[in-house]
Amino acid sequence: PLGLGGVQDGGGLGALAVLPSAGLRFDCHYTNGTERVRLLVRNLYDRQQFVQFDSDLGVYVGETEVGRRWAEGWNKNQAHLAARRAEVDTVCRHNYGVVERFLIHRRVQPKVRVSPTKSGSQPHPHLLVCSVTGFYPGGIEIKWLKNGQEQTAGVVSTELLQNGDWTFQILVMLEMSPRRGDVYTCQVEHISLRGPLAVHWEAQSDSARSKMLTGVGGFVLGLIFLAPGLLIYLKNKKGEWLRAGAGHQGVSGGMWGWGAQGNLGLAAGSPPPPAGAAQSLAGASRFLVSWVRGWVRPSPLLGQGQSRGHG
pLDDT number for residue 129: 95
H helices of 188-296, in order, are 206-247, 277-292
Give the pLDDT confidence of 159-214 residue by residue, as tens digits. 999 888 889 999 999 998 888 889 999 999 999 999 999 999 998 755 545 565 66
pLDDT at 149: 93
pLDDT single digits (tens) 114-153: 999 865 555 555 889 999 999 998 999 999 999 999 999 9
Q: Which domains can be identified in the chain, with CATH numbers? A: 13-104 (3.10.320.10), 111-204 (2.60.40.10), 217-305 (no CATH)
pLDDT, tens digit (0-9, with 9 covering 90-100), for 25-41: 888 888 888 889 999 99
pTM: 0.47
Give the whole-angstrom CA distance, residue 18 versus residue 227.
Answer: 71
Q: Give the Cα separation of 170 and 157 in Å (integer).
A: 7
Give just the sign of the alpha carbon dihedral 27, 33, 34, 37: negative
3-state DSSP helix/strand/coil percent for the chain, to nearest 5? 30, 30, 35
| Antiparallel, parallel or unpaired: β 197-202 and 183-190 | antiparallel
